Amino acid sequence: MSLPPEFELKYQPRLPRRRDWRIGCAGAGFIMRDCHLVAYRQAGFNPVAIASRRQETARNVAQQHQIPNVHRCYEELIADPNIEVLDIAVPPDAQPELIREALNYPHIRGILAQKPLAMSYADAKDCVHRCRQAGVKLAVNHNMRFDQSVRALKDILSRGWLGDVVLATIDMRAIPHWMPWARGQASLSTFIMSIHHLDTFRYWLGTPDRVLASTRPDPRTQFPHADGINLYILEYDSGARAAAWDDVWTGPVREGSQGDIGIHWRVEGTEGLARGTIGWPSYPARQPSTLDFTVKRFPGYWFQPRWTDVWFPDAFVGTMSQLLVALEENTEPEISGLDNLETIALCTAVLASAREHRVTTVKEFLL
């Protein structure tokens, strides 16, 4: 059954009036080269300068994406008076220092930071506080909020079509590519992989009241780590429950067995049910995420809206766009640094629950 007109879902991001905001890019790795800059060119945004740890890397990416200025280092990029918006794509433990440095320059009006904003709640809160004091808009690149199925479901929930949420689940069986900087961090899966799903649950349902989690190392990941495969349950005083299995092992797929890789989500409410898939595990193939939903109002039907957009890289139009809209309208970014503090606290609660074998609350980590 096709969607009635009143069922047309809002899953596309709002775009800024100005497309020529001058963007300076700090970082030239995969996420900048293959996601941010591809999406920005697609949307007609205006990256004007780039820097990386290695100038040659930045030069190659600048040539690939027609960026006119290549700086020798991050400090030189940040000091460039032509830049209005700083787009940061560096490891999370190095990010707070660049944010603090950027606040010394009044020409920088907005910052798009990577997630996690920092590897500790204290560092993240300090960045948020300093940006607010300086009048700089700080947004955090929670790009899964702009995955098309995730965003479409948020629209369904906002309209109340599913009624009160009873249970929400995400079942991930996928193998991430851990970047070299992941070695030696205080957290592996929780702050780098599970953060996507934890923030998505916050986006859909709000911040949970209690957390119960379990973790174990991933047999495939050879460097030392504690949190590999993550299992967690989120409890809400409203009665809603959410749970995810973030399985980065998925069986010996790389070692010779057949594979069963994918990400499925499901949200059950008192008035309807929605289910979907996330296309990301098929990257670099363009595999759109999907959404099916059924409601009591139309018994006997599954609605199946579809789109050609994909999470990687198309969602990255939205993460930059929401910051530019906030600058134009002098509003809080949709994925603001302030909002992100509760996601950082939630990740900390999951990690603590798994390590200490206890039920935790997010509030105890909102220091």
Domains and CATH numbers, the chain: 22-143+318-336 (3.40.50.720), 147-312+343-356 (3.30.360.10)
Q: Which residues in the chain land under pLDDT 50?
A: none
- In whole angstroms, give the CA distance from residue 324 to residue 110: 8
Q: What's the distance, CA 327 to chain centroid?
A: 20
Q: What pLDDT is recorded for position 29?
A: 96
The pLDDT assigned to 147 comes to 98
Q: 3-class DSSP state for residue 218?
A: coil
Q: Is 44 left (phi over 0), alpha (psi -120 to 50) or beta?
A: left
User: pTM for the complete prediction?
Assistant: 0.97
Q: What is the pLDDT of residue 167?
A: 98
Pull the structure tokens for residue 281: 């595990």
pLDDT at 8: 85
For residue 361, what pLDDT is reported? 98
Alpha-carbon span 203 to 234, nearest angstrom:
13
Residue 67 neighbours by CB distance under 10 Å: 23
Cβ-contact 334, 326 below 8 angstroms: yes
The per-residue pLDDT for 72 is 97
Paired residues of 336 in beta bridges: 139
d(CA 261, CA 263): 7
User: What's the confidence (pLDDT) of residue 190?
Assistant: 98
pLDDT for res 2: 59
Query: Quick one: DSSP state of residue 53?
Result: S
Residue pLDDT, tens place only, 68-125: 999 999 999 999 999 999 999 999 999 999 999 999 999 999 999 999 999 999 999 9
pLDDT for res 4: 65
- Nearest partner of 118 among 86, 90, 93, judged by Cα: 93
Query: How far apart, in whole angstroms, are the C-alpha atoms of residue 120 and residue 165?
Result: 31
| Count of Cβ atoms closer than 10 Å to residue 76 Cβ | 14
Q: What is the pLDDT of residue 367?
A: 84
Tell me how far apart the alpha carbons of residues 56 and 70 are, in angstroms, rounded to a whole number: 9
d(C-alpha 361, C-alpha 185), whole Å: 23
Three-state DSSP state, 306: coil
pLDDT of 3 = 59
Angle 218-221-224 from CA coordinates, rounded to 5°: 90
